[in-house]
Amino acid sequence: MAVSAFRDGAVQPVGLALPIAPSFLPPASLLAVLPVSPLPGPAAARDPEGAARVATAVGSRPTGDGLAARVRWLAAPSGAAWLAQALAHPDLVLLDHAHCERKAAGAALQLMFRYPGDGELAAVLSPLAREELEHFERVQALLAHRGIPLRPLAAPPYGAALTALVRRSEPDRMLDSFLVAGLIEARSHERMALLAVHSPDPELRELYGDLLTSEARHFGLYWLLCERRFPRERVAARLVELAAAEAQLLNGLHREARMHS
C-alpha cells in the first residue's frame, strides 16, 4: 500500500448503507472507485457486465496485471497464481469460504467478550457477527445443494500469522485486533471481487457478487472502530505496517486452494 492511500489523512466519500446507527456512518471510504479490468477469457465473455457490476459494488482500481479490484487497505493485490488455483478448485474454495464466514463471526464475538464494558463496540459488532453467520448459512446451503458436506479443512498459516502480530498490551492490542480483522475482511472482499468476475460458474459469480457490499462494509466498520478510539495518523501508520506483513504472508501459494492461501 502506498502512503498516498491515506493522503493527508483523508479518504474518499462512501455510499454504503450500514445496518447500524447513523452516528457510525463513515465520513469517507477506504476504496478508490475506478473500473475493474477483467482478465480475458470465457468467464468475462459469458458475463460481459460482470466487471461493471463489481465496480459498482466495490470501490476498485485496475492493478498492473489487470486482475481486478485493488482495495486500498491492502499493500498488494492478489496474484494470478491464486486466481488460477481458486478457479481450478471452486468447491474447495467454497468450503473454505464457509469456514471463513464462521471464523469472522467468532472474531467479532471474541472482541465483544474481551471488552464487555464497551457498549459502542457491542452495538457495531453484534449485527456484524449476525451478518457473518447469515453468510455462513448461505454458503452452507449452497454446499448442501451441490452435495458437498461441511467438513474441517487444514487452515493455511495466514490467519494465525496475522493474529501473532497483534501486540499484547492495551490499548495497542485493541488497535491491532481491529486492523487485523479489517485486513482479513479487505482481502476477502478483494478476492470475492475476483471470483465474481472470473468464475465460469454463474451460481458462484452471483454469490460472490452479492457479498461484496457486505464485505466492504465490514472492513469499513473496523476502520471506524479504530478511528473513534485512536488518532487517525496512528491508525494509518500501524495499518501500513500490518498491511505489508499481510501481503508478505500471501507471497507463497498454499498447497491447497483456500480463500486466504
Reported confidence tier of residue 84, pLDDT bands at 50, 70, 90: very high
Does residue 11 fall inside a structural domain?
A: no
Residues 6+ apart with CB under 8 A from 184: 104, 107, 159, 162, 260
Does residue 121 fall inside a structural domain?
A: yes
> How many domains does the chain divide into?
1
**Residue closest to 213 by CA, chosen among 80, 49, 68, 14:** 14
- pLDDT reported for residue 50: 39
Q: What is the domain range of residue 109?
A: 16-249
Res 59 pLDDT > 80: no
More confident residue, 242 or 11: 242
For the stretch 192-231, pLDDT in tens is: 999 999 999 999 999 999 999 888 889 899 999 999 999 9
Does residue 10 fall inside a structural domain?
A: no
Mean pLDDT lowest for which of 42-56, 115-129, 165-179? 42-56
Which residues pair with residue 71 across a beta bridge?
A: 31
CA dist 162 and 49 (Å) reads 35
Q: How many residues does the chain have?
A: 261
For the stretch 176-192, pLDDT in tens is: 999 999 999 999 999 99
Calculate the average pLDDT of the chain. 78
For the stretch 10-56, pLDDT in tens is: 222 222 222 222 222 233 333 332 223 333 233 333 343 433 333 33
Residues 130, 260, 197, 88, CA torsion sign = negative
Neighbours of 223 (CB within 10 A): 25
More confident residue, 19 or 175: 175
Does residue 204 fall inside a structural domain?
A: yes
Does residue 4 fall inside a structural domain?
A: no
Does residue 258 fall inside a structural domain?
A: no
CATH number assigned to the domain comprising residue 179: 1.20.1260.10
> Is 104 buried (19+), middle (13-18) or exposed (0-12) by CB count in 10 A?
buried
Does residue 261 fall inside a structural domain?
A: no
Does residue 147 fall inside a structural domain?
A: yes
- pLDDT reported for residue 70: 61
- pLDDT reported for residue 87: 97
